[in-house]
Amino acid sequence: MQSKYKIRLLRANLFAAAVVLALWTYTAQPVAALALWLSVGWLFVTALLLDFSHRRSKGLPWQVLTGTLLLSLIAAAPERHSFLIWAWAAMFMLPQKRWVAAFNACAALLSWLLIAPLLTLPEGLLLLATLMTLGVLSSAKACQLIDINGSIRKRLRLIPGLNLWPSGQLLRDLSREQTRSEREAIYAELFIIQVKRHQLWSSAQKLCNLTYSFEHVYRLNSQTLAALMLSHNPKEAAHRRKLLCAGLPEKQHSHHLPLMDIELSGLSVEALAQLPPLQRENNDD
């Protein structure tokens, strides 16, 4: 899967960029060298930890750190690193939150203010106009990428190689699976599990590994997973549920719904994610 998503190539590029910046430090001033070494460290750490995933970090967006490092490099030696100002155009091509884009826009403007004294007035104004034009074009490209990625995520698995799908896919699969289970006389049920937020992705991987390859697992929200399970009869399904709960974190709540009992008209993901108190199966019991 790494080759498919070009992770190795991206990692190699990050290492190469880190080496180039490291060589650059030999002729840099102390302050500039410090900024360069910070950038080298960030590139190395990013390359080492790089892995494809649809998971989103809840911490500080990495574009903020990248923008800060870029600004620090320009501020450390504007006369030496002035050409780096063109990297801001690439920064705005990255999908990012609005406040992150605003931060990077302010940082880009500050970079221009640092470089402007080195230029004549016409050159400075031309540079600013060019940066603004490229920034607008890059932001438009980023919006396009966000739309494309959104449509892709609706169709693709959330973790490559595992049968983990977004919640929207579950609503599309329920009707088909109801028809199939009725036609083939198979007992099917929807097994819904709630775990702690920080356990969601590890639990999702375990659940995918514990279910059959033809059964799908879905992420309903940040704390809820669902699995479409196929069994010969309800007794076998109950036995499988016990095995699944045993392989998942202890602090969990779950319930199951026979697939044929689910009314599809007006059904929503939010309704499925609700745990009926009377049907709750607590592993602590």
Residue 128 pLDDT > 90: yes
Measured distance CA(149)–CA(151) in Å, rounded: 5
Measured distance CA(36)–CA(34) in Å, rounded: 5
* HSE-up (13 A, CA, CB side) for residue 199: 16
Structure tokens at 253: 């709540």
Burial profile 222-235: b = 16 or more Cβ within 10 angstroms, e = fewer: ebbbbbbbbbeeee
Give the count of beta carbons closer than 10 Å to the beta carbon of residue 180.
14
Residue 110 pLDDT > 90: yes
pLDDT one-digit tens code per residue, 53-86: 434 444 456 778 788 888 888 888 888 888 889 9
148 or 197, greater pLDDT: 197
Domains, the chain, in order of start with CATH, read 7-153 (no CATH), 164-282 (3.30.70.270)
DSSP secondary structure code for residue 228 in this structure: E
For 50-120, where are the alpha helices, taking DSSP H only? 62-76, 78-81, 87-91, 98-115
User: By percentage, how much of the chain surpasses pLDDT 90?
Assistant: 14
Length of the chain: 285
Can you give the pTM of this predicted structure? Answer: 0.49
- Give the list of residues 6+ apart from residue 218 with CB closer than 8 angstroms, or none: 164, 165, 166, 167, 169, 170, 225, 226, 227, 228
Band of pLDDT at residue 107, cut at 50, 70 and 90: very high
What pLDDT is recorded for position 172?
Answer: 84
Mean pLDDT of all residues in the chain?
Answer: 80
What pLDDT is recorded for position 125?
Answer: 94
